Amino acid sequence: MDTVPLLARLEKRRFDIHNKPAPVTPRYYVNDIPISTAGNLTVIAALPKHGKSAWVGAMRASTMGTGDCLGVTSANPDGKAVIHLDTEQSVQDHYLGNERVLHRVGFREAPKWFLSYCITGWPTTEARAIVPIAMEEAAQEFGGIHSIIIDGSADLVFDVNDPSEASKLVSEWHGQAIQYECASIHVIHINPSAPRSRTAKTRGHLGSQLERKAETNLKLEKDGAAILVYGEKNRKEPIPRDRGPRFVWSDEKQMFVSAQCAAELKEAAEKRELTHLAKGIFVEHPSLRRMELESAVKSRLTVGDKTAERRVSRMLALGVIKVSETGHYSLNGETE
């Protein structure tokens, strides 16, 4: 092996306190948390028919404008290429999916930099080979790449359980993300052997290697009639299950639409309960001192001092009641 070129490459990556790299630009956010930054891998995992296509479609839509993008936000002010390679859906479903993408943000046509291709059924060798070709072509035409989404990354390997093949390919994808300063997003199925386990992993060695190298690992799971998105194994800030986006199918709109997250649903139920309690207390007393209010809560609920104190504090925090400058508590105007 000729070590000179390799050493030259190594020298370029040497730490230098006087040569700070340019700030890494987040490409996608969930709840204002960066999930995909330039030069990094992102994994989106789910069982089959668990909303992956819809959510990845919402990601693509978010690069164009604002709308119901299922909790994802993005921007592409420089008009760099957004590449999407679909290895799983039929040509017809691929078309319909992109129609919904445009509908989400009120577009009739896609921007020129929006490059979505259906390569379902391609031989593995060709599907793998097209990635660097498509990236080079897009980078030249649009002055760079915003992100590349491979919707069905497992279709680009001959054997997901071959450590050598998987490691080599993941390294290539990571290298491409660094080379083109883009986000590289990979959609892969969860191993069906433990579908309800929060520790259930993605398919084969490929999934394991992607999870290890990814800055963000997102999972999509069914939550009753809804799909929830969360990420607990992230390099940056996690997205807890109760705070992650939820979405449901809408017959009216013929697509998935955003729904309240679990924490919001819980908080709304708590507010309804406390509003009912507060109205019952204040019906005869327009205003009360804190001790009087806590005493009334204790009496109505048959609870102790600490519980009554917590209930009153939550009423205040949720806007059920308000407190005046003189220390008198009353129903909030909106609650009345």
Question: Please, which residues have CB within 8 angstroms of residue 245's CB and are 6 or more apart in sequence?
Answer: 30, 31, 70, 71, 72, 228, 229, 258, 261
Place 4 in a pLDDT band, splitting at 50, 70 and 90: low
Name which of 165, 183, 189, 196 is nearest 82 in CA terms. Answer: 183
Please state, in angstroms and rounded to a whole number, the distance separating the CA atoms of residues 81 and 136.
11
* Distance from C-alpha of 319 to C-alpha of 243, rounded to nearest angstrom: 20
Tell me the C-alpha distance between 214 and 234, whole Å.
8
- pTM here is 0.79
Give ranges for CATH 1.10.10 in the chain: 265-331
- pLDDT of 200-214, one tens digit each? 678 889 999 999 999
Name the architecture of domain 21-259.
3-Layer(aba) Sandwich (3.40)
Place of tokens 């992993």: 201
Q: How confident is the model at residue 261 (pLDDT cuts 50, 70, 90)?
A: confident
Say how far apart CA 23 and CA 26 lie, in whole Å. 9
Tell me the pLDDT of the chain averaged across its residues.
90
Rg (CA), the chain: 25
**Predicted pLDDT of residue 284:** 80
Residue 198 has pLDDT above 60, yes or no: no
So what's the architecture of 265-331 in CATH?
Answer: Orthogonal Bundle (1.10)
In which residue ranges of the chain is CATH 3.40.50.300 found?
21-259
* Section 17-30 average pLDDT: 88
- Among 45, 28, 234, CA closest to 147: 28
Lowest mean pLDDT: which of 18-22, 116-120, 224-228, 251-255?
18-22
55 pLDDT band (50/70/90 cuts)?
very high
139: nearest Cα among 174, 170, 115 = 115
Higher per-residue pLDDT: 14 or 195? 14
Please write down the HEC assignment for all residues of the chain.
CCHHHHHHHHHHCCCCCCCCCCCCCEEEEECCEEEEECCCEEEEEECCCCCHHHHHHHHHHHCCCCCCCCCEEECCCCCCEEEEEECCCCHHHHHHHHHHHHHHCCCCCCCCCEEEEECCCCCHHHHHHHHHHHHHHHHHHHCCEEEEEEECHHHHCCCCCCHHHHHHHHHHHHHHHHHCCCEEEEEEEECCCCCCCCCCCECHHHHHHHHHHCCEEEEEEEECCEEEEEECCCCCCCECCCCCCEEEEECCCCEEEEECCHHHHHHHHHHHHHHHHHHHHHCCCCCECHHHHHHHHHHHHCCCHHHHHHHHHHHHHCCCEEECCCCCEEECCCCC
Segment 251-278 mean pLDDT: 85
